[in-house]
């Protein structure tokens, strides 16, 4: 997908002037006990941090602004609501490091500026192999064929009449954090982890449609999903995922119809599985008795292992987490209290625990998980932190309900080598300099 194929050595400096290997080691060695004390003491002492300033002398509170002394706009000014103009910086972005080839493109979600676990639909990341279309729902069809008693073609009207469910799930592209395999250290969390979003999806369980068509569940252990765009996007989905009732033929996203960029009017939702299997503009489901080995399963989305072989069908997104604030590109303006916040997720179920370190992985403290903690959805975590103005390395480490613990880069590379593009779930490190600048660094 056009990632730069750079393979520099370990702990390469980011383009900005950040810490060297030696400096990281110094932070880790010299500050062990001090940081442990500071970290533990921080939240106890700070209870509820109050950062407000004295009211007297602040003209913003002393004088009435124009919006308090004039008429506001009427309701009809915006039939469809938009964010404030003051939030115009919070947008999806294309990475300058990635080439756009024809319609093949990717935009990253601005994780650093989002709250909670739901990604606003307009900020949901996009990954198109051949661009997106605003498909006419009146002309869109879904066909079900293969090992079924009755082949069927559904219109959108047909599908909208069927019993539906709504479920909150994350979607992560298998190539998310792909550039970090090469230690490229992209500057912000938007570019390092932004092929990740979480929405409430509404649709019909694929199992119900297959039952309606009399699918042969005994012989037909696989399903092929095909998209209607020009990318020939076809993916094999194992039947056991469909039998669980989790896989949805979805038309809804966050309470309204899907956005065109995200597959309007119909997409597959395959919870816990890498994004490429969430086929957009879904037009055909075929039941078969073996995996298809389509191009996006044989050539792309396979893991190049250290011995030169390829690992195929490694579709489940393993437990992963990232601190979204403070994160790369941000600046801490002054010493004192900060809420360290981030996201954790697992393709194998619920997040059980997230630990946070401020000293590059020597000491860990358990983060508070915000409710709800849902299966195969993003989970928001928070930790209180009082920054003492000294360099720090912030990390988060997720554990899911299966007991799996997110690996360090050292652990991941020991098994997977460094030549892969896909399925990088290593612990992310953000280095904080004395100047307050935050940047990306890899700690093994
Ligand atoms: N489906 C079709 N038909 N065409 C595509 O290009 N891209 C896939 C998947 N489904 C794609 C597709 C990939 S690689 C990903 S990561 C997700 O869609 C991205 O979904 P999103 O654009 O809604 O974030």
Query: How would you write the chain as a 3-class SS string?
Result: CCCCCCCCCCCCCCCCCCCCHHHHHHHHHHCHHHHHHHHHHHHHHHCCCCCCCCCCCCHHHHCCCHHHCCCCCCHHHCCCCCCCHHHCCCCCECCCCCCCECCEEEEECCHHHCCCCCCCHHHCCEEECCCCCCCCCCCCEEEEEECECCCEEEEHHHHHCCCCEEEEEEEECCCCCHHHHHCCCCCCHHHHHCCEEEEEEEEEEHHHHHHHCCECCCCCCEEEEEECCCCCCEEEEEHHHHHCCCCEEEEEECCEECCHHHCCCCEEECCCECHHHCCCCEEEEEEECCCCCCHHHHCCCCEECCCCCEECCCCECCCEEEEEECCCCCECCCCEEEEEEEEEECCCCCEEEEEEECECCCCCEECEECCCCCCCCCEEEEEEEEECCCCEEEEEEEEECCCCECCCHHHHHHHHCCCCCCCCCCCCEEEECCCCEEEEECCC
Q: What is the CATH number of domain 105-310?
A: 3.90.420.10
**Which residue of 275, 300, 315, 421 sits with most ligand 1 atoms within 8 Å of its CB, as the best mutation to test the pocket?**
275
Q: What tens-digit pLDDT sequence spans the chain (444 residues)?
A: 222 222 222 222 333 334 455 655 655 554 443 334 334 344 444 444 545 666 667 888 889 999 999 999 998 888 999 999 999 999 999 987 676 777 789 999 999 999 999 999 999 999 999 999 999 999 999 999 999 999 999 999 999 999 999 999 999 999 999 989 887 778 999 999 999 999 999 999 999 999 999 999 999 999 999 999 999 899 999 999 999 999 999 999 999 999 999 999 999 999 999 999 999 999 999 999 999 999 888 888 888 898 889 888 878 999 999 999 999 999 999 999 999 999 999 999 999 999 999 999 999 999 999 999 999 999 999 999 999 999 999 999 999 999 999 999 999 999 999 888 999 999 999 999 999 999 999 998
The minimum-distance atom of ligand 1 relative to the CA of 259 is 23
83 Cα: distance to centroid of ligand 1 (angstroms):
25
177 Cα: distance to centroid of ligand 1 (angstroms):
16
64 Cα: distance to centroid of ligand 1 (angstroms):
49
172 Cα: distance to centroid of ligand 1 (angstroms):
10
**Which residue of 1, 127, 170, 249 sits with most ligand 1 atoms within 8 Å of its CB, as the best mutation to test the pocket?**
127
Q: Whose CA is nearest to atom 23 of ligand 1?
A: 262
The span from the CA of 76 to the CA of 292, in Å, is 51
**Which residue of 280, 296, 378 sits with most ligand 1 atoms within 8 Å of its CB, as the best mutation to test the pocket?**
280
308 Cα: distance to centroid of ligand 1 (angstroms):
27
pTM above 0.85, yes or no: yes
Q: Which of 35, 118, 111, 124 is nearest to 321 (CA)?
A: 111
- pLDDT of 16 reads 39
Q: Whose CA is nearest to atom 10 of ligand 1?
A: 279
- pLDDT of 103 reads 78
121 Cα: distance to centroid of ligand 1 (angstroms):
15
The minimum-distance atom of ligand 1 relative to the CA of 128 is 6
The residue to which tokens 């008795």 are assigned: 289
Q: What is the CATH number of domain 320-441?
A: 2.60.40.650
The minimum-distance atom of ligand 1 relative to the CA of 262 is 23
Backbone conformation region of residue 361, classed left if phi is above 0, alpha if psi is from -120 to 50, else beta:
left
Q: Whose CA is nearest to atom 8 of ligand 1?
A: 276
Q: Within 10 A of 68 (CB to CB), how many other CB atoms are there?
A: 7
- pLDDT of 72 reads 94
Q: Whose CA is nearest to atom 17 of ligand 1?
A: 275
42 class by beta-carbon count within 10 Å (0-12 exposed, 13-18 middle, 19+ buried): buried
Lining ligand 1 with CB less than 6 A are 124-129, 171, 173, 227, 229, 231, 233, 261-263, 275-276, 278-281
- pLDDT of 68 reads 95
Report the first-to-last Cα separation within the chain, whole angstroms: 26
Q: Within 10 A of 182 (CB to CB), how many other CB atoms are there?
A: 18
The tokens describing 359, both together, are 């000293």
125 Cα: distance to centroid of ligand 1 (angstroms):
10
The minimum-distance atom of ligand 1 relative to the CA of 229 is 3
**Which residue of 98, 120, 129 sits with most ligand 1 atoms within 8 Å of its CB, as the best mutation to test the pocket?**
129
- pLDDT of 18 reads 45
126 Cα: distance to centroid of ligand 1 (angstroms):
7
Q: Is residue 222 a contact partner of residue 237, using CB atoms and an 8 Å limit?
A: yes
List the domain boundaries for the chain.
Answer: 21-61, 105-310, 320-441
**Which residue of 125, 195, 276, 423 sits with most ligand 1 atoms within 8 Å of its CB, as the best mutation to test the pocket?**
276
Q: Whose CA is nearest to atom 11 of ligand 1?
A: 128
Q: Whose CA is nearest to atom 2 of ligand 1?
A: 280
Q: Whose CA is nearest to atom 22 of ligand 1?
A: 126
232 Cα: distance to centroid of ligand 1 (angstroms):
11
Q: Which of 286, 147, 111, 268 is nearest to 219 (CA)?
A: 147
- pLDDT of 54 reads 62
């Amino acid at each position: 997908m056009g990632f730069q194929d750079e393979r520099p050595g370990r702990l390469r400096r980011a383009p900005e002037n950040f810490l060297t290997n030696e400096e990281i080691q110094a932070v880790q060695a010299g500050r062990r006990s001090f940081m442990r004390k500071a970290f533990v003491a921080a939240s106890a002492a700070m209870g509820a941090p109050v950062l407000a300033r004295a009211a007297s002398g602040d003209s913003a509170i002393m004088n009435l602004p124009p919006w308090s002394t004039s008429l506001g706009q009427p309701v009809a000014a915006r039939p469809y609501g938009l964010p404030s103009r003051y939030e115009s910086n919070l947008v999806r972005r294309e990475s300058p490091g990635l080439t756009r080839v024809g319609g093949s493109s990717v935009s990253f979600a601005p994780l650093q500026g989002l709250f909670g676990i739901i990604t606003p639909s307009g900020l949901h990341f996009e990954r198109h192999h051949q661009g997106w279309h605003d498909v006419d729902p009146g002309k869109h069809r879904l066909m079900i064929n293969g090992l079924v008693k009755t082949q069927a073609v559904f219109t959108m009207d047909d599908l909208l009449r069927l019993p539906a469910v709504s479920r909150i799930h994350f979607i992560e592209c298998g190539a998310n954090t792909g550039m970090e395999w090469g230690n490229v250290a992209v500057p912000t969390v938007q570019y390092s982890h932004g092929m990740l979003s979480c929405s409430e999806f509404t649709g019909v369980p694929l199992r119900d449609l297959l039952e309606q068509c009399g699918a042969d569940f005994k012989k037909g252990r696989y399903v092929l999903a095909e998209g209607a765009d020009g990318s020939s996007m076809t993916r094999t989905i194992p039947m056991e995922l469909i039998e669980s009732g989790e896989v949805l033929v979805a038309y809804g996203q966050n309470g309204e119809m899907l956005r065109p960029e995200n597959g309007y009017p119909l997409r597959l939702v395959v919870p816990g599985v890498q994004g490429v299997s969430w086929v957009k503009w879904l037009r055909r489901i075929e039941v078969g008795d073996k995996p298809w080995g389509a191009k996006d399963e044989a050539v792309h989305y396979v893991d190049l292992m250290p011995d030169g072989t390829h690992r195929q069908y490694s579709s489940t997104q393993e437990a992963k987490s990232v601190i979204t604030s403070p994160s790369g590109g941000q600046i801490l303006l002054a010493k004192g209290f900060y809420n360290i916040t981030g996201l954790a997720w697992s393709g194998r179920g619920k997040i059980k625990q997230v630990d946070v370190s401020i000293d590059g992985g020597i000491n860990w403290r358990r983060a508070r998980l915000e409710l709800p903690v849902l299966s195969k959805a993003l989970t928001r975590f928070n930790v209180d932190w009082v920054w003492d103005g000294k360099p720090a390395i912030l990390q988060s480490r997720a554990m899911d309900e299966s007991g799996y613990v997110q690996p360090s880069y050292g652990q991941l590379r020991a098994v997977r080598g460094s030549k892969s593009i896909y399925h990088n779930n290593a612990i992310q490190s953000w280095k904080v300099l004395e100047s307050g600048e935050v940047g990306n660094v890899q700690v093994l």
